[in-house]
């Protein structure tokens, strides 16, 4: 069975932390409270929260600069990445981030973590984007549907799905690194198995949506520092 994982990026902490358009609002989350709020929001939404809590206030001006910077990242991703879904999301600090979702069926053959030849054009373009915007931190998450594996128990199938999702996330990240993306940009590379579905696993269409790899680009500490200094373009 084709399995893939993906990580969900800090989908709006909206319910808890003013998650609106971050181009106009700075983020103010302490290291302790940010981590707690992030965990709560992530659990309620069924998603993994993206980004590490920043211990100081980002500030309105810096938040606006980061928002504009991530707008450029999103626009270029939409233009350059065919067959990928590009969305604006919010990280744990209430700052704008970009989520890129790849259908695992377009990246891998069934039950494999080996990248297909067709997938590499998209990943080549993604690598160029990441190198251009080198102050973006990056997370990669693999997801699968919940279908069982032949001659395996439910528990064994769940473990195989988890392993496959991890391997696929690592395959994507290793390819990006091999194409010049700095290892230091990658913060989390995680397989989620079937634990975070985005659609109904009882239908073929739903299962296809759940088999995915998600890549998140969000503000690193260096980006926040540059924004606070007014040097972020």
Q: Which CATH number fits the domain that encloses residue 164? A: 3.30.1330.60
pLDDT at 47: 59
Answer whether residue 68 is part of any domain.
yes
Residue 5 falls inside a structural domain: no
Domain that holds residue 60: 13-229
Considering the domain boundaries, does residue 192 fall inside one? yes
Structural contact between residues 97 and 217, judged by C-beta atoms closer than 8 angstroms: yes
Q: What pLDDT, on the 0 to 100 scale, is given for residue 160? A: 93
Q: Which residues have C-beta within 8 Å of that of residue 68, sequence separation ≥ 6?
A: 23
For the chain, residues with pLDDT lower than 50 are 1-46
Query: 86 in a domain, yes or no?
Result: yes
Whether residue 175 lies inside any domain: the answer is yes
Query: In terms of Cα–Cα distance, which of 93, 73, 98 is closest to 25?
Result: 93
Give the list of residues 6+ apart from residue 66 with CB closer than 8 angstroms, or none: 22, 58, 95, 96, 219, 223, 224, 227, 232
Could you tell me the end-to-end alpha-carbon distance of the chain, in angstroms, rounded to an integer? 45
Q: Is residue 7, in this structure, part of any structural domain at all?
A: no
What is the pTM (predicted TM-score) of this model? 0.79
pLDDT (tens digit per residue) in 31-69: 333 343 443 333 333 356 788 787 667 888 999 999 999
Do 212 and 103 touch, CB atoms closer than 8 A? yes
Residue 2 lies in a domain: no
> What is residue 230's DSSP assignment?
T
The tally of domains found in the chain comes to 1
Does residue 34 belong to any structural domain of this protein? yes
């Amino acid at each position: 069975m084709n399995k893939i994982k993906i990580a969900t990026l800090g989908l709006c902490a909206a319910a808890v932390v003013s998650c609106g358009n971050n181009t106009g609002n700075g983020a103010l989350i302490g290291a302790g409270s940010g981590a707690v709020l992030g965990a709560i929001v992530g659990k309620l939404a069924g998603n993994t929260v993206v980004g590490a809590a920043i211990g100081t206030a980002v500030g309105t001006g810096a938040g606006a600069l980061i928002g504009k910077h991530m707008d450029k990242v999103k626009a270029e991703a939409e233009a350059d990445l065919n067959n990928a879904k590009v969305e604006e999301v919010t990280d744990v600090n209430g700052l704008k981030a970009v989520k890129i979702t790849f259908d695992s069926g377009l990246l891998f053959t069934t039950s494999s973590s080996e990248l297909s030849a067709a997938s590499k054009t998209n990943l080549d373009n993604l690598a160029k984007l990441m190198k251009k915007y080198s102050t973006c931190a990056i997370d990669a998450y693999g997801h699968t549907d919940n279908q069982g594996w032949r001659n395996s128990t439910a528990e064994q199938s769940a473990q195989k799905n988890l392993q496959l999702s991890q391997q696929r996330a690592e395959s994507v990240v290793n390819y990006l690194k091999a194409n010049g993306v700095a290892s230091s940009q990658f913060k989390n590379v995680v397989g989620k198995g079937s634990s975070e579905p985005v659609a109904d696993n009882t239908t073929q269409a739903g299962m296809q949506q759940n088999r995915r790899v998600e890549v998140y680009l969000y503000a690193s500490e260096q980006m926040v520092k540059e924004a606070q200094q007014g040097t972020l373009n």
